[in-house]
Amino acid sequence: MKNVLVGQSGGPTAVINASLYGVIKESMDQPAMGEVYGMLNGIEGFINGHTVCLSQLLSNNELELLKATPAAFLGSCRYKLPENLEDPIYPLLFEKFEEMDIGWVFYIGGNDSMDTVAKLSGYAAKVGSDIRLIGIPKTIDNDLVLTDHTPGYGSAAKFVATAVRDICMDSQVYNTTSVTIVEIMGRNAGWLTAASVLARLYPGANPALIYLPEVPFSVDGFFRDIEAEMEKRGNVVVCVSEGVRDDNNILLCEYAQQIAEDTFGHKNLTGCGKQLENMIRAKYGVKTRSVELNVTQRCMASLVSETDLTEAVAAGVHGVNAALNGETGKMIACHRAEENIYQLGYQCVDVSLVCNQEKAFPKEWIIGRNNDISEEFIDYAMPLIAGELPRLMRDGLPAYCCLDTKTLRLR
Amino acid sequence: MKNVLVGQSGGPTAVINASLYGVIKESMDQPAMGEVYGMLNGIEGFINGHTVCLSQLLSNNELELLKATPAAFLGSCRYKLPENLEDPIYPLLFEKFEEMDIGWVFYIGGNDSMDTVAKLSGYAAKVGSDIRLIGIPKTIDNDLVLTDHTPGYGSAAKFVATAVRDICMDSQVYNTTSVTIVEIMGRNAGWLTAASVLARLYPGANPALIYLPEVPFSVDGFFRDIEAEMEKRGNVVVCVSEGVRDDNNILLCEYAQQIAEDTFGHKNLTGCGKQLENMIRAKYGVKTRSVELNVTQRCMASLVSETDLTEAVAAGVHGVNAALNGETGKMIACHRAEENIYQLGYQCVDVSLVCNQEKAFPKEWIIGRNNDISEEFIDYAMPLIAGELPRLMRDGLPAYCCLDTKTLRLR
């Protein structure tokens, strides 16, 4: 009987552990599957021999706690396998798989992580290995192609919409003119920033202006929009993606500062909200504030969407079943039935078609003077943020399941 | 039969409307009291004739929704009445009170707002008016004197502890060295920053270092602390008050930028977290991030503490009863029974002893090398963050009660 290996990779989300829960639980329920091992810190940790036996570590109670725990229980990595499948890392990895008698590998992550699954399954095909490799999608950015949406997005969108609604409430307590800029994550894809439209408490309510990275951002146009809104209402709330760029493809945050790049060549963004705050204050002299939602939008588990968590678990479960059915080199994708009632199915898509691709927010859903979001998006997003779950609390704070990666004990 | 007048002032909190609910509900239940009027935008709006009749506006259902609504339903102001009670504003205000047949005035706010209550009650005594004026305390800063704690603090502390716990989870997913700086509100008082100690999931867990404004902040000491922590653990989380100052009383955030002052002479702070982030990155070259919790810590109603909300309502109710008993020029204060079981009583304190004072965090509760918080604080704070309430949701997002201050209709 072969064993199972599971890893987590890329940026954490509020429900990535729910997918891990799905993989562990379903694998343990499958008579054909042996022990369930976890890679610590993804494929990078696995290369260095860091694993833990999850099926022996976690009781049922602890598994339930794991499901409600944010961030990556197993730790994560941002590690890119070599392009060349002749690289000696590949036989090394497969020797390790053999040593642990692994039959199935599940890798939970975003488009960079799917690159890992694609390369490993490419190598498996090349050497005739029958190890099955499946990608389980997760990202708050919702930018994976070939899937209706991605587990992790619904909870992040619910957090963004809730936080922006509360910030709008806060912004309008004084009878003055003010501008509040909320900066939302999303390097290239505006899905999460778009979710701020859901924050509107009534038609015409704040946030008044929403800017996505899919269309060029013009500073002049922004000033014109702000002036129009300041005439209409005293307090203007603006939601802006961290990744907005001007006509020349220059990031707004580059206007003020040097930027660094991460190992995947991503630009390390900060401060487009701060940048706009300073520009508005200098030009109009009004009270101005910027709020960067920062990591809270991906890590705060208190506002998890019930739909998202349920689907994150299901993605893990479907991954296990797909692998048992002989699938490999696939990612589990979400398929929405074209009906009035929201209904989600799961299917396998070729992981090599997903990796390193980014699904942009549809331009036709960006309306107004490129400063608002359409009803079509609202219809798309509402089911994804639906439902709340009872929170597991201890002494007034959320209870979580944590792994000490040194001792391999829970704490 | 005299009418009631109630206003809100200063920065909003997640439960300031719960105190408003307490005042309205209890006043409406009192046969001796007539209509309940609200000042729009506090005393400043009242001077300009902006009021609304709350007892006619709000149904029972809407009152329940109001109780769970963050920010200030009536709008707020930061308006300081003149020191000189001979100023013509005072007879003008009391004429307006007479016109509306006001017998009781309730003002919900922090130390600046208590200054308003002190001046109005001082003027009432001077001219022999029998209008009763009572202050209902609110602040996330917990810096009011003569009260065990202040409504608004418990919910903000619960948000800070929860957010920091989740940020700590997020910060440790990568097997690298990293420093995360969390900047927490509190110009002069460290109460809210201290609440980050509650975030520790197990003994020795992050946040590793906590800095309050009550003791001088030394950059050299900070580097020494960071170096010690980087040796102990890969990922270091630091919580720091926005108001930390060095030996020369220079705000850390002043190191980098010019700052403005608000009408109360408060310094308009931003960026001490960003400042420390830049210093750490420049010195050690490690992955560094700063997170400013910003207004989310005072406005997010999803993490309200049940204890705090209950006490905020009770403070409003006790204010009404105190006024009916003839008290005036008083603030409702919280008194904790000196017993093992948490039990809170309410009493009246002279508002002139409260206004313009700030209760600092006790220095003896700051331990380590001025970088940690003692068990005594944990014992003090735990009851204040206890309990959760069922959230009132609509379409996956919180439902709130909002007033259109132009039409005076709900929306």
Looking at chain A, the whole-number percentage of residues with pLDDT higher than 90 is 91
Considering only the beta carbons, identify the residue of A175, A402, A411 that sits closest to B75: A175
Looking at chain B, the whole-number percentage of residues with pLDDT higher than 90 is 91
CA B182 to chain centre: 19
User: B334: closest CA among B150, B191, B110, B195?
Assistant: B150
Cross-chain residue pair B162–A303, CB shorter than 8 Å: no
Find chain B residues with C-beta within 8 A of A262's C-beta. none
Distance from CA of B181 to the nearest CA of A (A): 12
Q: Is the pTM of this model over 0.90?
A: yes
Res. A269: pLDDT tops 60: no
d(CA A156, CA A405): 27
On whether the CB atoms of residues B143 and B111 are closer than 8 A, the answer is yes
Find chain A residues with C-beta within 8 A of B196's C-beta. none
Query: Averaged over A104-112, what is the pLDDT?
Result: 96
What is residue B270's predicted lDDT score, i.e. its pLDDT?
52
CB contact B174 to A (< 8 Å): yes
**pLDDT confidence band for A265 (50 / 70 / 90):** very low
Adjacent-strand bridge partners of A188: none
- Identify from B44, B170, B385 which residue to disrupt to test chain A contact, counting A C-beta atoms within 10 A and taking the largest count: B170
Find chain A residues with C-beta within 8 A of B398's C-beta. 162, 165-166
Distance from CA of A303 to the nearest CA of B (A): 8
CB contact B233 to A (< 8 Å): no
Of the candidates B115, B141, B143, B308, the residue annotated as catalytic is: B141
Considering only the beta carbons, identify the residue of A77, A174, A398 that sits closest to B162: A398
What is the distance in angstroms between the CA of the first residue and the CA of the last residue of chain A?
Answer: 31
What is residue B260's predicted lDDT score, i.e. its pLDDT?
42
Cross-chain residue pair A305–B387, CB shorter than 8 Å: no
Cross-chain residue pair B397–A388, CB shorter than 8 Å: no
Res. B196: pLDDT tops 60: yes
Q: pLDDT tens for residues A77-97?
A: 999 999 999 999 999 999 999
Find chain B residues with C-beta within 8 A of A174's C-beta. 41, 75-78
CB contact A176 to B (< 8 Å): no
Tell whether omega for the bond before A207 is within 30 degrees of 0, i.e. cis: yes
Find chain B residues with C-beta within 8 A of A8's C-beta. 173
Helix locations, A172-255, DSSP H? 191-194, 219-232
Residues in chain A: 411
Q: pLDDT tens for residues A113-169?
A: 999 999 999 999 999 999 999 999 999 999 999 999 999 999 999 999 999 999 999
Cross-chain residue pair A300–B388, CB shorter than 8 Å: no
What is residue B296's predicted lDDT score, i.e. its pLDDT?
96
**pLDDT confidence band for B255 (50 / 70 / 90):** confident
- Identify from A397, A400, A411 which residue to disrupt to test chain B contact, counting B C-beta atoms within 10 A and taking the largest count: A397
- Window A:374-403, CB contacts with B under 8 Å: 382, 385-388, 391, 393, 395-398, 400, 402
- Identify from B16, B40, B66, B175 which residue to disrupt to test chain A contact, counting A C-beta atoms within 10 A and taking the largest count: B175
With 0-12 / 13-18 / 19 or more C-beta atoms within 10 angstroms meaning exposed / middle / buried, residue A177 is middle
CB contact B206 to A (< 8 Å): no
On whether the CB atoms of residues A36 and A6 are closer than 8 A, the answer is yes
Query: Averaged over B303-319, what is the pLDDT?
Result: 98
Beta-carbon pairs below 8 A across chains A and B: 175
Helix locations, B325-408, DSSP H? 351-354, 375-381
Using DSSP bridges, classify how beta strands A344-350 and A330-336 pair: parallel, antiparallel or unpaired.
antiparallel
CA-nearest residue of chain B to A77? B174
d(CA A147, CA A153): 12
Cross-chain residue pair A402–B299, CB shorter than 8 Å: no
> ipTM for the complex?
0.95
Q: pLDDT tens for residues A10-52?
A: 999 999 999 999 999 999 999 999 999 999 999 999 999 999 9
Which whole-number Å values give the CA distances from B158 to A81, A185, B37, B300, B394, in the listed order? 42, 24, 32, 11, 23
- Identify from A39, A74, A173 which residue to disrupt to test chain B contact, counting B C-beta atoms within 10 A and taking the largest count: A173
d(CA A395, CA B231): 31
Average pLDDT, chain A: 94
CA A337 to chain centre: 23
Active site residue B262: no
Considering only the beta carbons, identify the residue of B158, B166, B393 that sits closest to A300: B166
Cross-chain residue pair B300–A166, CB shorter than 8 Å: yes
User: A194: closest CA among A144, A143, A235?
Assistant: A143
Distance from CA of B395 to the nearest CA of A (A): 6
What is residue B339's predicted lDDT score, i.e. its pLDDT?
80
Could you give the angle at which helices A16-29 and A306-324 cross, rounded to 10 degrees?
40
Distance from CA of A32 to the nearest CA of B (A): 31
Distance from CA of B127 to the nearest CA of A (A): 31
CA-nearest residue of chain A to B294? A291
CA-nearest residue of chain B to A203? B411
- One-letter amino acid of B14: A
With 0-12 / 13-18 / 19 or more C-beta atoms within 10 angstroms meaning exposed / middle / buried, residue B258 is exposed
**pLDDT confidence band for B183 (50 / 70 / 90):** very high
Q: Which two tokens stand for residue B191?
A: 């109460």
CA-nearest residue of chain A to B307? A396
Cross-chain residue pair B393–A388, CB shorter than 8 Å: yes
Q: What 3-state DSSP class applies to A159? A: helix
Q: Which residue has the tokens 């009270």?
A: A287
Res. A254: pLDDT tops 90: no
Res. B269: pLDDT tops 70: no
Res. A231: pLDDT tops 90: yes
**pLDDT confidence band for A255 (50 / 70 / 90):** confident
Considering only the beta carbons, identify the residue of B78, B167, B302 that sits closest to A302: B302
User: B334: closest CA among B355, B312, B353, B352?
Assistant: B312
**pLDDT confidence band for B315 (50 / 70 / 90):** very high
On whether the CB atoms of residues B183 and B291 are closer than 8 A, the answer is yes
Using DSSP bridges, classify how beta strands B51-53 and A366-367 pair: parallel, antiparallel or unpaired.
unpaired
On whether the CB atoms of residues B195 and B255 are closer than 8 A, the answer is no
Find chain B residues with C-beta within 8 A of A259's C-beta. none
- Window A:265-304, CB contacts with B under 8 Å: 289, 291-296, 298-303
**pLDDT confidence band for B334 (50 / 70 / 90):** very high
Q: pLDDT tens for residues A168-227?
A: 999 999 999 999 999 999 989 999 999 999 999 999 999 999 999 999 999 999 999 999
**pLDDT confidence band for A339 (50 / 70 / 90):** confident
Res. A268: pLDDT tops 50: no
